[in-house]
């Protein structure tokens, strides 16, 4: 038989079953261990149900709800961690000269090696889910809770997530030639965008007034796990049902009536991204040089990217840490940074990062000769970045969006939040913009944070303090967010055009008080609430969850107090300790509006004062308070102080009441 005939046999193809099986048999402890861990959950479920534990005796819809919760909250994290282990197993041969030599000598094209290894890796990803899922189905079938539609959706989701994560790990596997570098690069790339956003805003917050280190989520599409956890969700609809307990008490129960996966399509999109990443991985493999085994970066054009990327990360993270160590009395104390020391710290850390990257790439410590140009570039970049931020050359600090360029602005001030929409609240938005400009006008004054510690001769703080946050949603969907820590004085409050006066005028308008309660706004429905009642000795402390009807009744009462002028004035210089009852009353709202960026829920904390007669009457009528058993915060403070001073002489509660 000549060789042409022999080589026509199916063993030479784009897939090799032997390699597929070999991977599964070689790495069985990995998928076997994961399957065992997964199987513990349905086993526990079965034991609990068979024991008669009512917690586990759920309706099919509640099982679907549980499947969806696991899919949206747990599966992304498991896939993130497990995919890299599977990728490290099946692609490990690439990182050793002997193994890569053997595999590449075999009569199979790289496409074939890729397909066999990729599919075996995917099989290793899915076997534990299949085992766990099959056992769960078995248990639910046994107990009549099987719900195929929810299960099918969950299986699709698991497939999509597994494919995406394994494809992304595979893509990274072809970027590097070092087994230890693979997980490092994988996790780095998965969280790079989010980390960079936080690091950059943190650095910017060291120089720019109003900029705080926070994560907007604008770039979380590049950090898939964060994106999944933020955007995948379960929408559950409950119906309140009146029930009577066995001992005759009436109570309200919530019954799940519908479950829907929110943004399930995201998994589909990322599965497509996974397909693209797998294609990129294959393209990289076809061009990969076997001799790159052992290299930290196996793709030639990515080496400068790695070198300068590591230098930049070291400059941002290490530089900030060095500055905190040598110049700050405590990390993130809210004071602003000095540009020159920060530039020096960043440059030192950046150059160290540059040389570490060079050493990793060269696999040698002798990298100093001829590398001063690169190190110099890092130095210049660090100095330039500090200068740009300190002198606000990009206009970040002074930026106030023009009216009409944003769809809404969310204002947080005096412990309340307001959402003002363009076209609905234009007059209020105009006031907000004026306030924002007034704050920026005094940015240099705010940069000096020593006012926070200035006191009068008797030790009292010289300034009242309030926090204000402005979040603009721009037309393109992006957000501009600024937060200010503002000192307030009575003198400036009386002065025309100061931010103190503008803030006071804005917040204490009648329309803003109504906005706080979402009165006359049909988009909001009050969904519930809570009330905590405190007593001096703590014995009578009690908390209540309010159902929607109770919350609605209370809201109407508070609204009547707003109309009669008995609620809503923000008092900047009083602590409210003596004029407010020791009650924590909160109301929760749902906002139903399609395609809205405004948060779907809201909450308000209501300070209850003696003059709020409608509210107090309502709480009394609902049986939540006893008018004769109410104390102010000041009374509670006095009781606590007395208890501290005379630990052996308890102050009688009756005396406190008098």
Binding site for another protein (CB under 8 A): 3-4, 6-7, 9, 11-12, 16-19, 22, 26, 96-102, 104-110, 112, 289-291
User: How far apart are alpha carbons 551 and 618 in whole angstroms?
Assistant: 10
Helix (H) or strand (E) holding 358: helix 339-362
Q: How far is the CB of 210 from another protein (least distance, A)?
A: 50
DSSP 581: B
What lies within 8 Å, CB to CB, of 2 at 6+ separation is none
Q: How far is the CB of 289 from another protein (least distance, A)?
A: 7
Q: How far is the CB of 185 from another protein (least distance, A)?
A: 21
Of residues 100 and 161, the one with the C-beta less far from another protein: 100
User: How far apart are alpha carbons 474 and 437 in whole angstroms?
Assistant: 18
| Count of beta carbons in the 10 Å neighbourhood of residue 181 | 21
Q: How far is the CB of 109 from another protein (least distance, A)?
A: 5
Of residues 104 and 481, the one with the C-beta less far from another protein: 104
Of residues 16 and 535, the one with the C-beta less far from another protein: 16
Q: In a 10 Å sphere around its CB, with 0-12 CB exposed, 13-18 middle and 19+ buried, how is residue 391 labelled?
A: exposed
Of residues 27 and 207, the one with the C-beta less far from another protein: 27
Of 605, 521, 623, nearest in space to 558 by CA: 605
Strand order across the 416-421 sheet: 416-421, 406-413, 464-474, 479-488
Of residues 364 and 645, the one with the C-beta less far from another protein: 364
Q: How many residues does the chain have?
A: 658
Report CA torsion sign: 101, 107, 109, 115.
negative
Helix (H) or strand (E) holding 494: none
How far apart, in Å, are the Cα atoms of 221 and each of 167, 177, 335, 638? 16, 27, 32, 52
Of residues 250 and 366, the one with the C-beta less far from another protein: 366
Q: How far is the CB of 11 from another protein (least distance, A)?
A: 5
How far apart, in Å, are the Cα atoms of 598 and each of 34, 152, 214, 462, 472? 41, 32, 19, 37, 11
Of residues 25 and 476, the one with the C-beta less far from another protein: 25
User: How far apart are alpha carbons 314 and 101 in whole angstroms?
Assistant: 36
What lies within 8 Å, CB to CB, of 315 at 6+ separation is 346, 347, 349, 350, 353, 378, 381, 382
Q: How far is the CB of 360 from another protein (least distance, A)?
A: 15
Q: Is 413 helix (H, G, I), strand (E, B) or coil?
A: strand
* Residues facing 174 on adjacent strands: none
Of residues 23 and 471, the one with the C-beta less far from another protein: 23
Q: How far is the CB of 363 from another protein (least distance, A)?
A: 10
Of residues 99 and 333, the one with the C-beta less far from another protein: 99
What lies within 8 Å, CB to CB, of 159 at 6+ separation is 126, 271
Of residues 108 and 396, the one with the C-beta less far from another protein: 108
Of residues 19 and 587, the one with the C-beta less far from another protein: 19
Q: How far is the CB of 94 from another protein (least distance, A)?
A: 12
Q: How far is the CB of 20 from another protein (least distance, A)?
A: 10
Which tokens belong to 135?
């056992």
Q: How far is the CB of 3 from another protein (least distance, A)?
A: 5
Of residues 4 and 594, the one with the C-beta less far from another protein: 4
Of residues 368 and 467, the one with the C-beta less far from another protein: 368
In contact, 499 and 439? CB cutoff 8 Å: yes
Of residues 303 and 492, the one with the C-beta less far from another protein: 303
| Count of beta carbons in the 10 Å neighbourhood of residue 26 | 13
Question: In the chain, what is the greatest distance between 2 CA atoms, to the nearest angstrom?
Answer: 112
| Count of beta carbons in the 10 Å neighbourhood of residue 1 | 5
Of residues 290 and 371, the one with the C-beta less far from another protein: 290
Q: How far is the CB of 280 from another protein (least distance, A)?
A: 19
Of 18, 174, 157, 154, nearest in space to 93 by CA: 174
DSSP 632: B
Please report which residue ranges of 51-96 form alpha helices under DSSP H.
60-69, 75-90
* Per-residue b or e along 575-614, where b marks 16 or more CB atoms closer than 10 Å to that residue's CB: eeeeebbbbebebbbebeeeeeeeeeebebebbbbeebeb
DSSP 87: H
Of residues 97 and 613, the one with the C-beta less far from another protein: 97
Q: How far is the CB of 18 from another protein (least distance, A)?
A: 2
Q: How far is the CB of 281 from another protein (least distance, A)?
A: 17
Long-range contacts of 627-630 (CB under 8 A, 24+ apart): 629/535, 629/540, 630/581, 630/582, 630/583
Q: How far is the CB of 115 from another protein (least distance, A)?
A: 13
Q: How far is the CB of 186 from another protein (least distance, A)?
A: 24
User: How far apart are alpha carbons 161 and 169 in whole angstroms?
Assistant: 12
User: How far apart are alpha carbons 10 and 282 in whole angstroms?
Assistant: 22
Of 215, 35, 202, 10, nearest in space to 125 by CA: 35
Please report which residue ranges of 143-264 form alpha helices under DSSP H.
148-175, 181-207, 224-231
CA angle 46, 47, 48 (to 5 degrees): 90
Q: How far is the CB of 178 from another protein (least distance, A)?
A: 16
């Amino acid at each position: 038989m000549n060789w042409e005939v022999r080589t026509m046999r199916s063993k030479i193809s784009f897939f090799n079953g032997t390699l597929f099986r070999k991977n599964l048999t070689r790495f069985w402890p990995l998928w076997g261990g994961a399957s065992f861990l997964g199987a513990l959950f349905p086993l526990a479920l079965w034991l609990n149900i068979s024991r008669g534990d009512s917690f586990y005796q759920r309706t099919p819809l509640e099982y679907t709800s549980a499947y969806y919760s696991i899919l949206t909250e747990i599966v992304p994290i498991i896939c993130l961690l497990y995919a890299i282990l599977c990728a490290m197993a099946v692609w490990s041969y690439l990182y050793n000269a002997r193994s890569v030599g053997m595999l590449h000598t075999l009569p199979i094209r790289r496409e074939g090696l890729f397909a066999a290894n990729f599919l075996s890796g995917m099989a290793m990803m899915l076997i534990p889910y299949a085992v766990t899922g099959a056992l769960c189905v078995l248990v639910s079938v046994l107990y009549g809770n099987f719900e195929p539609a929810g299960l099918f959706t969950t299986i699709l989701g698991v497939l999509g997530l597994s494919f995406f994560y394994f494809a992304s790990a595979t893509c990274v596997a072809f970027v590097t030639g070092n087994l230890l570098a693979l997980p490092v690069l994988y996790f780095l790339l998965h969280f790079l965008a989010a980390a960079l956003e936080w690091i950059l805003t943190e650095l910017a917050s060291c120089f720019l007034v109003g900029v705080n280190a926070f994560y907007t989520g604008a770039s979380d599409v590049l950090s898939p796990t964060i994106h999944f956890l933020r955007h995948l969700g379960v929408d559950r609809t409950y119906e309140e049902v009146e029930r009577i307990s066995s001992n005759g008490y009436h109570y309200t129960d919530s019954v799940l009536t519908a479950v829907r996966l929110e943004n399930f399509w995201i998994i589909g999109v990322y599965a497509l991204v996974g397909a693209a990443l797998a294609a990129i991985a294959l393209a990289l493999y076809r061009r990969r040089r076997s001799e790159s085994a052992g290299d930290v970066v196996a793709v030639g054009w990515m080496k400068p990217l790695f070198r300068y990327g590591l230098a930049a990360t070291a400059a941002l993270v290490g530089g900030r840490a060095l500055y905190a160590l040598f110049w700050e009395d405590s990390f993130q104390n809210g004071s602003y940074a000095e540009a020159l020391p920060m530039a020096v710290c960043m440059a030192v850390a950046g150059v160290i990062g540059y040389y570490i990257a060079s050493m990793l790439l060269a696999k040698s410590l002798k990298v100093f000769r001829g590398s001063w140009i690169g190190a110099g570039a890092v130095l210049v970049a660090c100095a330039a970045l500090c200068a740009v931020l300190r002198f606000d050359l990009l206009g970040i600090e002074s930026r106030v969006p023009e009216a009409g360029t944003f769809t809404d602005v969310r204002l947080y001030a005096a412990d309340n939040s307001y959402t003002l929409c363009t076209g609905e609240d234009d007059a209020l938005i105009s006031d907000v913009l004026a306030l924002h400009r007034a704050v920026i006008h005094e940015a240099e004054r705010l940069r000096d944070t020593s006012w926070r510690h200035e006191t009068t001769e008797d030790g009292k703080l010289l300034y009242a303090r309030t926090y204000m946050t402005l979040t603009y949603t721009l037309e393109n969907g992006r957000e501009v967010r600024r937060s200010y820590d503002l000192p307030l004085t009575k003198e400036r409050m009386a002065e025309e055009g100061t931010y103190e006066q503008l803030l006071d005028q804005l917040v204490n308008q009648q329309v803003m008080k109504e906005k706080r309660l979402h009165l006359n706004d049909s988009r909001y429905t009050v969904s519930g609430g809570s009330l905590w009642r405190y007593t001096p000795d703590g014995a009578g402390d009690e908390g209540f969850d309010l159902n929607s009807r109770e919350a609605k009744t209370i809201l109407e009462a508070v609204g009547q107090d707003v109309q009669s002028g008995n609620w809503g004035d923000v008092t900047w210089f009083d602590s409210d300790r003596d004029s407010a009852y020791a009650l924590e009353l909160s109301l929760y709202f749902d906002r139903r509006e399609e395609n809205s960026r405004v948060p779907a829920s809201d909450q308000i904390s209501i300070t209850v004062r003696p003059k709020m007669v409608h509210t107090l009457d309502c709480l009394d009528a609902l049986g939540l308070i006893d008018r004769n058993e109410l104390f102010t915060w000041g009374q509670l403070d006095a009781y606590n102080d007395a208890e501290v001073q005379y630990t052996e002489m308890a102050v009688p509660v009756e005396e406190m009441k008098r």
